[in-house]
Structure 1
Amino acid sequence: MTDTRSFALVSAALHALVQAAAAEVAAGAAVRIGPPRAAEPGATAISLTLYHHAANAAFRAADIPARDPGGARLAPPPLAFDLHYLVAIASDQPLAGELLLGRLMAALAAQPVLTRDALTAVAEGGAYPALAGAAAAPQIEMIRLIAAYPAPDAAAALWSGLFQLPHQPSLHLVVSPVMIAFDDVRPSPPPVRRREP
């Protein structure tokens, strides 16, 4: 997909998607990347939090480092991950959380993938200087946006243990697969030709 900025690029693209969807329901809703916060009087805020990442099971053993006929490593296989996000809505307005949650679910159903164009637009948009030049290269699979439904106990543990906040209307999202390609190929030692007695 891109270099080691893949996670940041995906978070920025999700931010843009959530902000566009929220603007259709609550014009003043602010979307931020970071952990959830308590609701402030008269305000509606949406937090986008990357709270877990895991190796993608399908790609973990799908490839081995490419080697030339002499046994030297040419390139490492890309790293593939599943990113777990929480989109939380904090508001003291009646039904604001439910209205925004419904709109976000509809937006994800309408656009269940992060396209290369969306990722490139975020990288070149100028809002995130650290992403300049992080254009998304084609990858084997599209990056899917999958709504996740954790068990009530797991969700309660997330709120009470990790965020230490009362539960807010929220959406769990798995973004998969997110690839990291890197070019720092270290030379392989020469293969063993003979063994000393």
Structure 2
Amino acid sequence: MDALSVIEKAVNIVNEYQAARAEPKEVPPAAGGGQKIWQAPTSGTFKINSDAAVYGDGTLGFGGIVRDEMGEVMLATCDVYEGGCDTDVAEAMAARHAVKVAVEAGLRNIVLESDCLKLITHLKKGLLENSGFSLIVKDILLFRSSNVSLAFNHVRREGNRVAHQLAQMSRTFRELRVWIEEVPNEVWTYVLSDMISMNA
């Protein structure tokens, strides 16, 4: 059995385990474009992937991971929020959380990547409407005024698996968690899979 087959089998086992532990309402993946696999940022840039999980009881889970041009993990985070909202707002909140943690860690040259096409479109175009969603978009854009270079990219769900798993795990921890230069064991197979795909 080759290494990729072993990784795929491990990923499937982890998926089944996560599904058995909690059954959140899946945040639907965006239709349309976006890359299918995770791609490393350019040299000197850090890529943040973020995702949200919306649970039946109204709890929101946020997940985020920051990696460098080699695919090495700089930091990972997850958090929970008690209180319901629609999926677009949850995705925006997850992105804001991940960017905030990265900026607080001293990172300044950042690409934010999400599978929420609406969020990435609003961020790229600076679209602000009279809504709670737009207030969060504005919060994210304001990081640029803190001497932060911040670009935005849309990725499909397949390219956002690590952040997705961290969002799923948030309910286990029930509080803010940040890992520096590491990830929880349950997420490691996804990180490794991304690194293999990146070098394929």
Q: Confirm or deny a common fold (TM above 0.5).
A: no
Larger strand percent: 1
TM-score by length of 1: 0.27
* Greater Cα radius of gyration, structure 1 or 2: 1
Larger helix percent: 2
TM-score by length of 2: 0.27
